[in-house]
Amino acid sequence: MNSLSPTPNRSETLVIVEEAEAAIVGQALLHLSVKQWATLLKLVEMPGCVKTSQQLSLNGETRAVKYVIRLLRRKLADLGLESAIVYEANRGYRFIAPVTRVKTITAALQLDTEGDRGIA
């Protein structure tokens, strides 16, 4: 029995393109507002770790976090990452999908041809 989890394919991985401030899933660009982008970045800083609404708020306004998370979930689900963001009752939100960070769009495009999952 193999104890290693299977390597996720490219279409199941969120790619963060730092210089372009863009997120890609598979071959699709994730269209995000400024608030959605900032929230997503905070969630994927440490994938798998819980972030409270206070930690995810942009300027101390925690009421908007729930709405932004709902929009992010919907957009991620449209690209096949239905359960990428989970809510931990009385704790906060956790991003559980695989994440790859790259510097440029060129590096993101090379992930397809090289099968590389590291930071470029």
| Residue indicated by tokens 């390597």 | 7
CA 95 – CA 40 distance, rounded (Å): 9
**What amino acid is encoded at 13 in this protein?**
T
- Report the Cα 74 to chain-centroid distance in Å: 13
Domain ranges of the chain: 10-113
The two three-digit tokens of residue 37, written as one number: 């982008």
What is the residue-level pLDDT of the chain in tens, covering all 120 positions?
A: 333 333 444 568 999 999 999 999 988 999 999 999 999 999 999 889 999 999 999 888 888 999 999 999 999 999 999 999 999 999 999 999 999 999 998 898 888 655 544 433
Q: Estimate to the nearest angstrom the gap between the alpha carbon of 116 and the chain centroid.
A: 18
Angstrom distance (rounded) from CA 25 to CA 78: 10
Predicted TM-score of the model (pTM): 0.82
Query: For the domain 10-113, what is the CATH code?
Result: 1.10.10.10
